[in-house]
Structure 1
Amino acid sequence: MSDFAGQTWRVVIVEDNAHTRHHLEQCVRHNPQLVLAASFGTLSPALTWFGRQGADLLLVDLGLPDGSGLSLLQHVRDRWPGCDMLVVSMFGDEASAVASIEAGAVGYVHKDDDATDIAETLLAVKRGASPISPMIARHLLRRMQPQQTLAGATGSATPPNKSSSTGAGQEDPHVALSPREHEVLGYIARGFSYAEIARQQGITVHTVQTYIKKLYGKLAVHSRGQAVYEASRRGLLGALDQPPA
């Protein structure tokens, strides 16, 4: 955490509800490590703004009057890859959460959550966390359950290391993770920062980073959000236990 001492981050907010937007703006303004770079109530001016300049953090709603926040996520991801993006939305369905992660969001917070100061959440994102609402996390954790149930019902005539009816040339869905990698993956899925994972596991932050690097390599991903989505899609999260508090 000392690496970020004295550092400030430029934040852009895109939220159509004036009351909510004002609250988010105040949270950002009252934190000395955050600078409110811009705030918009609709999609169009936000797209125009990011067409000219970037930011360190984007806080965006999905349901905007003139379009979907997903369009902005995709635009910022492609043009400003160094900008970490967090969704704050009323949409709590699996499709919205997965679409946001695919579009580049590193976190997804539901507006109904009793969340702490959003400024602390934004700072946690810059420290490496991927905050995901418990309701959203449950959707992601259950994403592969129907396929798992079907696989169990068909028996085990096909060995795990053999090609299945999905056809040759497709990815191997079986990713071998060590027990510690499974544990770290579980913490990532629940939004723990590197430092928090290190404390829970009794290891150093450097060791946590090493495990996460191995996870990224095995899942062929490049961010925490992608890792959660890919692990869930492959059914690697369904059997994980809740990490201790």
Structure 2
Amino acid sequence: MSDAASADPSHASTRAPAPGIHVALVEDDLLFQHTFVKVLAAASDMRLVAMAGTVHEGLAMLSGSPADVLLVDLGLPDGSGLDVIRQAIVQWPSCAVMVNTVFGDEAHVMQCIEAGASGYLIKASSPDSIVGEIRSVAHGGSPISPMIARQVLGRFRQLSTQASPASPRAVPLPTGHATEPAAALSAREAQVLDLVTRGFTLAEAARLMDISRHTVDAFVRRIYRKLNVSSKTEAIYEARRQGLLGD
């Protein structure tokens, strides 16, 4: 097993969770690893709880307690970090995944976004600046390097042009009806929202679901982001409007 996998943070899942943003790293560059460990150690609101240097180690890491933010490199010695991202979305649904890689082509970008990544950074960023991006993604943001943002916007403009009313394939939609798709809440997100709707506090929801309050907070941030709301009242209203809650 590599030095990354045997580092102390990888065993943090066996200890009681410490306060702050829990961060996991999948990265094979030893210099970046060492610098990143030092930078996070200096951040009072963050804890590095797990670290891996290969796809194999990254997938094994997912069997431990979930982190709040998972930072993943794509070019790993035994394959693509995309495999780790896809599995993390399944095993750590409350975790926000952020890519940190040298690959900036459209294929990699769109694959990661479609897999569920919440942020995409090109490795020109220093570990110090990444700390700020981790805070952003942990609180519901979607940090994207400017070059990547231009690619994503260009891609969506292209798709929008292809589906414009001038296109023979376009089908006019009736006026007066909502056109946005219903948000796809995970089973755990829906459970949190249901408990909140029934009047339980977030602390009570955590106890009923047998998870930490920190994890419940992460679910709430994801619910707000998916429903495009900023309060509990708005979330309940929007969920009912979209038919995600019963009467």
TM-score class, shorter = 0.5 to 0.7
- Counterpart selection for 1:43 from 31, 37, 55: 55
Normalised by the length of structure 2, the TM-score is: 0.59
Q: Is 1:89 matched up with 2:101?
A: yes
Contact 2:55 2:78 in 1 (8 A): yes
Distance 1:161 1:33, change over 3 A: same
- Measure, in 1, the Cα distance between the counterparts of 2:167 and 2:83: 42
Using the TM superposition, give the Cα deviation of residue 63 of structure 1 relative to its aligned residue in structure 2, in angstroms.
0.7
Contact 1:27–1:117 (8 Å) recurs in 2: no
1:63 equivalent to 2:75? Answer yes
Query: Does the Cα contact within 8 Å between 2:74 and 2:99 map onto a contact in 1?
Result: yes
* Counterpart selection for 1:99 from 111, 132, 142: 111
Aligned residue pairs: how many?
176
> Residues 156 and 175 from structure 1, CA distance in 2 versus in 1: closer, same or farther, beyond 3 angstroms?
farther
Q: Residue type of the partner of 2:141?
A: A
- Alpha-carbon separation, structure 1, partners of 2:94 and 2:58: 17
Of residues 40-49 and 67-76 in structure 1, the stretch that sits farther from structure 2 once superposed is 40-49
1:119–1:145 distance in 2 versus 1, CA, 3 Å: closer
Report the residue type matching 1:125 in the other structure.
Answer: V
Calculate the TM-score normalised by the size of structure 1: 0.60
Deviation larger for 80-89 or 137-146:
137-146
Report if aligned partners of 2:32, 2:127 keep a CA contact under 8 Å in 1: no
How far did 1:14 drift?
Answer: 1.0
For the residue of structure 2 that corresponds to 1:112, the secondary structure is coil
1:78-131 superposed Cα distances (whole Å, 9 cap, x missing partner): 011111111101111122111112222111111124785222211121211110
Q: CA RMSD in A?
A: 3.6
1:138 and 2:150 aligned: yes
Which residue matches 2:213? none
Distance change (3 Å), C-alpha of 1:145 and 1:115: farther
* Shift in alpha-carbon separation, 1:156–1:123, aligned structure 2, 3 A: same
Q: What is the aligned-residue identity percentage? A: 34
More contact order relative to length (CA 8 Å, sep ≥ 6) = 1
What is the DSSP-based 3-state SS (H/G/I as helix, E as strand, rest coil) of the residue aligned with 2:22?
Answer: strand
Amino acid at match of 1:75: Q
Task: Kindly indicate whether the alpha-carbon contact (under 8 Å) linking 1:13 and 1:25 is maintained by their aligned counterparts in 2.
Answer: no
Amino acid at match of 2:20: T
Letter in 2 for 1:160: P
Preserved CA contact (<8 Å) 1:107 1:130: yes
Corresponding residue SS for 1:38: strand
Tell whether the 8 Å contact from 2:39 to 2:128 is kept in structure 1 after alignment: no
- Superposed, 1:149-164 pairs within 5 Å as 149-150=161-162, 160-161=172-173
1:208-227 counterparts in 2 under 5 A?
Answer: 210=234
Tell me the distance in 1 between the aligned counterparts of 2:132 and 2:74.
21
Map of 2:32 onto structure 1: 20
Distance in 2 (alpha carbons) for counterparts of 1:130 and 1:67: 25
Local SS of the residue matching 1:52 = coil
Does the 8 A contact of 2:52 with 2:61 survive in 1? no
For structure 1, the 5+ residue unaligned runs are 1-5, 163-173, 177-193, 195-203, 221-245
CA distance in 1, matches of 2:161, 2:234: 33
Q: Which runs of 5+ in 2 are unaligned?
A: 1-17, 182-220, 222-228
Pair 1:37–1:155, CA change in 2 (3 A):
closer
